[in-house]
Amino acid sequence: MDAMTEQHRVTAPTPSPGEKLKGPASYFPSIEKTYGRPVQEWLDLVADRLDSQRHMEVVDWLKSEHGMGHGHANAIVAYVKAKFAD
């Protein structure tokens, strides 16, 4: 499967114009601005890691390997876990 047809296990939210994101997703605009990568990339990385690692292990990985702050890292992991539970 090539990158153009790849399905994401968890997709980034697409708010309507003027709609504010709530919960962990409320951090996503700041995460994109601060770390210069689309949220979808972070969601894909975290979804793969959660197959074999616990919540805080993935948070710690985002912090140590990517320099992410705790709140941002936790928001991404919490969002992915919540979507897996849906």
Tens-digit pLDDT profile for residues 43-81? 999 999 999 999 999 999 999 999 999 999 999 999 999
Global pTM? 0.89
In a domain, 69, yes or no: yes
3-state secondary structure 42-66: HHHHHHHHCCCCCHHHHHHHHHHHH
Asked, for residue 28, whether it belongs to a domain, the answer is no
C-beta of residue 8 within 8 angstroms of C-beta of residue 44: yes
Domain assignment present for 23: no
Does residue 4 lie in a domain region?
no
Asked if residue 12 is part of any domain, the answer here is no
Inside any domain, residue 45: yes
Q: Is residue 5 part of a domain?
A: no
For the chain, the domain total comes to 1
Per residue in 13-54, pLDDT (tens digit) is 998 999 999 999 999 999 999 999 999 999 999 999 999 999
10 falls within a domain: no
Q: What residues make up the domain containing 45?
A: 35-85
